[in-house]
């Protein structure tokens, strides 16, 4: 299949471009150079916190940073674009869809509780259940309230 090599390179680039809250930092985009060299564009999907809340958020430790993603930090849209530019990249497209992500979180919450017997059989206790219920529902509320968003950005090497 002549297109397979291109698809494989694109898959590696997209995989390398996945940034989660724990990975974002000064080195996050720099570590993707090898994969980015293989394709013209990367697509990143990142959860962000409102610009107006970011300065306070980044100086504290919230429930998610303490219990779900220890040491993690979400960027603001502006902070994300600054890091993208520092990495020598340019944003060519951006799509935000926090409201639909809220629905996804609510579905995960429902499914998690519907299948709790299976989860408990793996050795997880009620404390774990309460923690994940709080995490999933509070995140859904953050997206509903506009405090967080999910952004997919397309980046390319700056000229």
Active-site option among 139, 150, 153, 155: 139
Q: b vs e for 105-136, b when ≥16 Cβ sit within 10 Å of the residue's Cβ?
A: bbeebeebeeeeeeeeeeeeeeeeeeebeebb
Cα–Cα dist 75/20, whole Å? 10
- Which among 42, 21, 151 has a CA at the least distance from the CA of 88? 42
Burial group, residue 39, by CB count within 10 angstroms (0-12, 13-18, 19+): middle
What SS3 state is found at 154? Answer: strand
Cα–Cα dist 32/158, whole Å? 15
Active-site annotation holds for 148: no
Please give the positions annotated as active site. Answer: 139
């Amino acid at each position: 299949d002549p297109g397979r090599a291109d698809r494989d390179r694109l898959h590696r680039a997209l995989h390398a471009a996945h940034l989660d809250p724990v990975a974002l930092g000064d080195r996050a985009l720099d570590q993707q150079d090898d994969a980015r060299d293989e394709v013209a564009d990367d697509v990143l999907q990142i959860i962000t916190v409102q610009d107006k809340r970011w300065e306070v958020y980044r100086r504290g430790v919230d429930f998610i940073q303490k219990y779900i993603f220890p040491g993690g930090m979400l960027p603001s849209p502006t902070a994300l674009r600054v890091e993208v530019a520092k990495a020598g990249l340019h944003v060519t497209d951006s799509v935000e869809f926090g409201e639909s992500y809220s629905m996804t979180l609510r579905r995960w919450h429902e499914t998690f509780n519907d299948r709790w017997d299976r989860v408990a059989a793996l050795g997880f206790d009620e404390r774990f259940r309460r923690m994940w219920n709080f995490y999933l529902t509070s995140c859904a509320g953050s997206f509903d309230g506009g405090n967080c968003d999910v952004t997919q950005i397309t980046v390319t090497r700056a000229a």
